[in-house]
Structure 1
Amino acid sequence: MIRALSGLLWLDAASQTAACTVFAVGKMATKDGSVLISHSDDGSPTNDARLLYVPAADHSPDEKRPIYYTPELFPRYLGYHMGPDYRPDADTKAYNLSDPIGYIEQVPHTFGYQSGTYGVLNEHGVSVAESTCSAVFGTCGKGSTVGCEPGRKVGSALMSIDTLSYLAMERTRTSREAVELMGSLASKYGFYGPPDSFEGSGESLVVGDPDEAWAFQILSDPTGTSAIWAAKRLPDDQMTVVANMYTIREVKANDKENYILSPNIFEVAKSKGWWKEGTAFDFTLMYSGGEYAHKYYSGRRMWRGLQMAKPSLALPTTYEDIRYKPVYPWSVVPDAKVSHHDLMAWHRDWYAGTEFDMTKGIQAGPFGTPDRYQTVSSKVKGHWERSIALYRTNAVYVQQLHHPGEGRPQGMASVAWYAAGPPHYAAFVPIPSGVNETIHALQFANPKKFENYSMNWLVRRVMDVCQIRFDVMHNYVYSAQQAVEMQADALIEKVRQAGTTSPAELNKIFQEHASQVLQKWKELMPFLLFRFSGNTDIETMQSLSYPDAWLDASGYKDGPPDAPKEDRCPPNCDPPASAAEVVV
Structure 2
Amino acid sequence: MDRRIDPPFWSQPPTRRTPVKHLVSFLLVFLLAAPSALACTTTITGKDASADGSVLVSHSDDGLSDARMVYVPPMDHKPGSKRAVFYSHDALGFKPEWGGTETQRLVTDTRGPGYTNPKLAQSVPLGYIPQVAHTYGYFDANYGLVNEHGLAIGECTDKAKVHPQPDPDKRIFYSAELSRVALERCTTAREAVELMGQLIEQYGYYGTGETLLVADKDEGWVFEMCGYDMEGAGGVWVAQRVPDDGFFVAANEFRIRKIRKDAPDMLYSKNVFDIARKKGWWKPADGALDWAKTYSGGEFHHPYYSLRRVWRAQSLVAPSLKLPAWVDGPFTTAYPFAITPDQKLDVEDIAAIHRDNYEGTEFDLTKGLAAGPFGNPNRFEGHGEAVSDGSLSSVKGAFERPLNIYRCVYSYVTQCRGTMPAGIGTVIWFAPDRPATAVLMPFYAGALNLPESVQTADALVYNEKSMWTAFNYVANYAMLKYSYMIKDIHALRDTFEAAALGGQKELEAKAAALWNDGKEHEAQALLTEYSDKNAAKVLAAWWELSHDLYIKYNDGYVNTKGDLGEPVFYPAWWLKKVDYPDGPLHYEKSAN
TM-based fold match above 0.5: yes
1:165 aligns with 2:186: no
Q: Distance in 2 between matches of 1:280 and 1:410?
A: 39
Structure 1 residues 39 and 486: alpha-carbon distance in aligned structure 2, compared to 1, 3 A threshold: same
Given that 2:239 and 2:266 are in contact with CA atoms closer than 8 Å, whether structure 1 keeps it comes out as yes
Match in the other structure for 1:150:
none
CA deviation profile, 1:280-316 (whole Å, cap 9, x unmatched): 2110010000012111100100100100110111111
2:39 counterpart SS class: coil
Given that 1:138 and 1:224 are in contact with CA atoms closer than 8 Å, whether structure 2 keeps it comes out as no
CA deviation profile, 1:104-137 (whole Å, cap 9, x unmatched): 1111111000000111110111011110001112
Aligned residue type for 1:358 = L
User: Normalization by structure 1: what TM-score?
Assistant: 0.87
Given that 1:367 and 1:470 are in contact with CA atoms closer than 8 Å, whether structure 2 keeps it comes out as yes
Match in the other structure for 1:396:
411
Structure 1 residues 500 and 439: alpha-carbon distance in aligned structure 2, compared to 1, 3 A threshold: farther
Given that 1:500 and 1:506 are in contact with CA atoms closer than 8 Å, whether structure 2 keeps it comes out as no
Bigger mean CA offset, 360-369 vs 498-507 = 498-507
Q: Distance in 1 between matches of 2:423 and 2:446?
A: 4
CA deviation profile, 1:314-344 (whole Å, cap 9, x unmatched): 1111123222x43211111000000011111
Q: Distance in 1 between matches of 2:553 and 2:292?
A: 49
1:261 aligns with 2:268: yes
Match in the other structure for 1:67:
85
Which blocks of at least 5 consecutive residues in structure 1 are unaligned?
1-10, 144-154, 194-200, 565-584
1:321 corresponds, among 319, 329, 339, to: 329
Q: Distance in 2 between matches of 1:500 and 1:362?
A: 57
Match in the other structure for 2:436:
424
Q: Distance in 2 between matches of 1:384 and 1:410?
A: 42
CA shift, 1:74, in A, is: 2.1
Percent identity of equivalent pairs: 37
1:174 aligns with 2:188: yes
Given that 1:85 and 1:438 are in contact with CA atoms closer than 8 Å, whether structure 2 keeps it comes out as no
1:331 counterpart SS class: coil
CA deviation profile, 1:229-273 (whole Å, cap 9, x unmatched): 000000000101100000101111111x20010001111112233
Match in the other structure for 1:371:
378
Match in the other structure for 1:561:
585
Q: Distance in 2 between matches of 1:167 and 1:418?
A: 21
Given that 2:444 and 2:528 are in contact with CA atoms closer than 8 Å, whether structure 1 keeps it comes out as no
User: Normalization by structure 2: what TM-score?
Assistant: 0.86
Q: Distance in 1 between matches of 2:540 and 2:114?
A: 23
Q: Distance in 2 between matches of 1:27 and 1:478?
A: 29
1:139 aligns with 2:164: yes
Larger relative helix fraction: 2
Given that 1:191 and 1:224 are in contact with CA atoms closer than 8 Å, whether structure 2 keeps it comes out as no
Aligned residue type for 1:234 = V
Aligned residue type for 1:431 = F
Aligned residue type for 2:402 = S
Pairwise CA RMSD of aligned residues? 1.7
Bigger mean CA offset, 297-306 vs 56-65 = 56-65
Q: Distance in 2 between matches of 1:441 and 1:36?
A: 25
State how many pairs are aligned: 525
Q: Distance in 2 between matches of 1:14 and 1:369?
A: 27
Q: Distance in 2 between matches of 1:347 and 1:339?
A: 13
Q: Distance in 2 between matches of 1:449 and 1:475?
A: 28
Match in the other structure for 1:33:
53
CA deviation profile, 1:349-395 (whole Å, cap 9, x unmatched): 00000000000000101111000113253432221111000010000
2:210 counterpart SS class: strand
Match in the other structure for 1:128:
153
1:560 counterpart SS class: coil
Structure 1 residues 211 and 354: alpha-carbon distance in aligned structure 2, compared to 1, 3 A threshold: same
Given that 2:150 and 2:422 are in contact with CA atoms closer than 8 Å, whether structure 1 keeps it comes out as no
2:424 corresponds, among 398, 402, 412, to: 412
Runs of 4+ in 1 over 6 A off after TM superposition: 11-14
Q: Distance in 2 between matches of 1:81 and 1:438?
A: 18
Bigger mean CA offset, 270-279 vs 117-126 = 270-279
1:386 aligns with 2:401: yes
Q: Distance in 2 between matches of 1:169 and 1:142?
A: 24
CA deviation profile, 1:388-440 (whole Å, cap 9, x unmatched): 0001000002111111x3xx455210101110101111111110111121222
